[in-house]
Amino acid sequence: MANGVKAIRGMNDILPNESYLWEYFEQTVQQWLAAYGYRNIRTPIVEQTDLFIRSIGEVTDIVEKEMYTFIDNLNNDSLTLRPEGTASCVRAAIEHNILYAGPQRLYYAGPMFRHERPQKGRYRQFHQVGVEALGYAGPDIDAELIVMCARLWKLLGISDLRLEISTLGNTESRALHRARLLKYFEQHRDDLDEDSLRRLHTNPLRILDSKNPRMQRVIENAPKLIDDLDLESCNHFESLQRILRERGINYEINLRLVRGLDYYNRTVFEWVTDKLGAQGTVCAGGRYDGLVEQVGGKSTPACGFAMGVERLLLLIQACGKKINQPVPDIYIVHQGSDQVMDYAWKCAEFLRDEGFNVILHCGDGSFKSQMKKADSSGAVYALIIGDDEFKVQEVTIKPLRELIEQASVKLNSITEIINKKNLY
């Protein structure tokens, strides 16, 4: 396509030879979430820009550098393609008063948008599955989210994932820590890069997330948030660890774990891997007790996580799990009069009613070319219909994957001859 229209950089087509992996993942995830009582919520991909500024934080990479924001020329509104799903989920919960019915277990799935440098596992349109538990205050729900993830990794055949956890405390303890960080980094201004200097007085906590190698020593020696934690947050964190130990979940405490969104408090966690290079985090989340109120609702405890679908699919493949592409059960080959065609249609619909996946050959083609297409389709059986079969209202069944003789049978006997249990 030298002169044709192409997809936008970092926004990818998902073609049939890979979409079956997505379908496998989505089906597994839906069953997994249903097992824990989570219900689906679907929100628009475009929101008022102010929603993300208020929730994510004005002095964050996402808001400052990565959001796709534009002005709606019809009414002059500032709109943004959603860069993450939690804010939209919380906005919908408030707008439609669903929290009045009590705590809610919700999940969403779909595309998110961030203007980042595209690379393997990181795209400008990417997909997430997110889980939000709204109205739950205790460490038990934090632990359940982590235990849920551990179960999903087993279902997907994923290994070599490492769980890192930490706590960010409450608003007061973070304010105390912020003051100590500010004082510390002021004393080391000469060691800070331009980006960190810009954030020094607006959000010094974000400096801890810098990947600049030149700054790692000063970051490592910076005051630690755990030294400023309030007693209640410490107890919450200890209870979380106890539940995880009782459930047999291994974890590492990473005191430098900083989430890229300002709304987090107390529990934060990440599932990381070394199999994907720089894009090592595949699932991350934590508690955000102040977000509902921040967006305009009543004070409501909440926690959740989001996982990157593209990265998890790469990890599934890296771990060697075999996922077979779906193939039709039966390919119908037919040649002859219009009556033969009508009979082939009748057979195809009958077999679909019986629960088989059927491809009916369309278009012209010799018997030989149709059989080649039947074989290349991956179908287990070919169903051959010609003038002879039509005259006696039968079909010829030819196994394509086994050295078994073909046989002619009545249409209503097909399900007895082709036992669907033997197709897989």
Q: What is the pLDDT of residues 314-350, one digit of tens each?
A: 999 888 888 888 899 999 999 888 899 999 999 999 9
Can you tell me the mean pLDDT for 108-131?
89
**The pair of three-digit structure tokens given for residue 128, joined into one six-digit string:** 């997430």
**In whole angstroms, what is the distance from residue 61 CA to residue 334 CA?**
60
Dihedral of alpha carbons 306, 310, 311, 312, sign: positive
Given a cut of 80, whether residue 263 has pLDDT beyond it is: no
List beta partners, residue 46: 81
pLDDT score at 361: 93
Instruction: Domain 330-419: give its CATH superfamily.
Output: Anticodon-binding domain (3.40.50.800)
| pLDDT confidence tier of residue 176, bands split at 50, 70 and 90 | confident
* Pairwise CA distance, residues 210 & 42, whole Å: 34
pLDDT score of 424:
37
Output the pLDDT for position 227: 83
131 is written with which tokens?
Answer: 């889980």
Give the confidence band of 261 by pLDDT, cuts at 50, 70, 90. low
Residue with the bigger pLDDT between 416 and 395: it is 395
Provide the 3-class DSSP secondary structure of residue 25: helix
- For the chain, the residue count is 424
Rounded to an integer, the average pLDDT of 109-126 is 86
Band of residue 189 on the pLDDT scale cut at 50, 70, 90: confident
pLDDT given for residue 145 in this prediction: 97
pLDDT band at 419 (very low <50, low <70, confident <90, very high): low
20: number of Cβ within 10 Å: 13
pLDDT value at residue 2 = 57
- What's CA 8's distance to the chain center, in Å? 21
| Tokens linked to 138 | 């205790």
Residue 96 near residue 52 (C-beta atoms within 8 A):
no
**Can you give the residue ranges of every domain in the chain?**
16-170+230-318, 330-419
Structure tokens at 56: 């994510």
Q: Is 44 helix (H, G, I), strand (E, B) or coil?
A: coil
**pLDDT the model gives residue 421:** 40
> Spelled out in words, what is the top-level CATH class assigned to the domain 16-170+230-318?
alpha beta
User: Is the confidence at residue 6, as pLDDT, over 80?
Assistant: yes
pLDDT higher at 271 or 414: 271
Largest CA-CA distance found in the chain, in angstroms, rounded: 94
pLDDT over 70 (residue 278): no
Burial (CB < 10 A; 0-12, 13-18, 19+), residue 67, is: buried
- Evaluated on CA atoms 194, 113, 103, 32, the torsion sign reads negative
- When comparing pLDDT for 242 and 407, which is higher? 242
Over 70: is that where the pLDDT of 1 sits? no
- pLDDT single digits (tens) 29-83: 999 999 999 999 999 999 999 898 888 776 677 787 888 999 998 999 999 999 9
DSSP 8-state secondary structure symbol assigned to residue 205: G
Question: Residue 55: what pLDDT?
Answer: 81
Nearest to 268 by CA among 169, 160, 138: 169
Phi, psi for residue 67 in degrees, rounded to 5: -75, 140
Q: Look up the pTM and report it.
A: 0.85
The answer to whether 151 and 34 are in contact (CB under 8 A) is: no
Q: What is the dihedral of CA 308, 311, 314, 320, to 10 degrees?
A: -70
Percent of the chain surpassing pLDDT 90:
49
Identify whether the C-beta of residue 171 lies closer than 8 Å to the C-beta of residue 228: no
How many Å apart are CA 363 and CA 340, to the nearest integer? 14
Q: What is the DSSP letter of 403?
A: -
Residue spans of beta strands (DSSP E) within 273-364: 281-287, 302-308, 330-334, 358-360
pLDDT at 45: 96
Three-class SS of residue 189?
helix
pLDDT exceeds cutoff 90 at 200: no
Contacts 24+ apart (CB under 8 A), 356-363: 356/329, 356/330, 356/418, 356/420, 357/326, 357/328, 357/329, 357/330, 358/328, 358/329, 358/330, 358/331, 358/332, 359/328, 359/330, 359/331, 359/332, 360/332, 360/334, 361/331, 361/332, 361/333, 361/334
DSSP string over 366-395: -HHHHHHHHHHTT-SEEEEE-HHHHHTTEE
> Which residues, 6 or more positions from 394, have their beta carbon under 8 angstroms from its beta carbon?
408, 409, 410, 411
Please give the pLDDT value at position 274: 86
In which band, very low, low, confident or very high, does the pLDDT at 423 lie, cut at 50, 70 and 90? Answer: very low
pLDDT of 259 above 70: no
Q: Is 285 exposed, middle or buried (0-12, 13-18, 19+ CB in 10 A)?
A: buried
pLDDT for 262 equals: 62
Per the prediction, the chain carries an average pLDDT of 88
Is the model's pLDDT at 197 over the cut of 80? yes
> How many Å apart are CA 390 and CA 370, to the nearest integer?
18
Collect contacts of 279-287 with beta carbons under 8 A, ≥24 apart: 279/119, 279/120, 279/121, 279/122, 279/311, 281/308, 281/311, 282/161, 282/307, 282/308, 282/311, 282/312, 282/315, 283/149, 283/307, 283/308, 283/312, 284/259, 285/131, 285/145, 286/142, 286/168, 286/259, 287/142
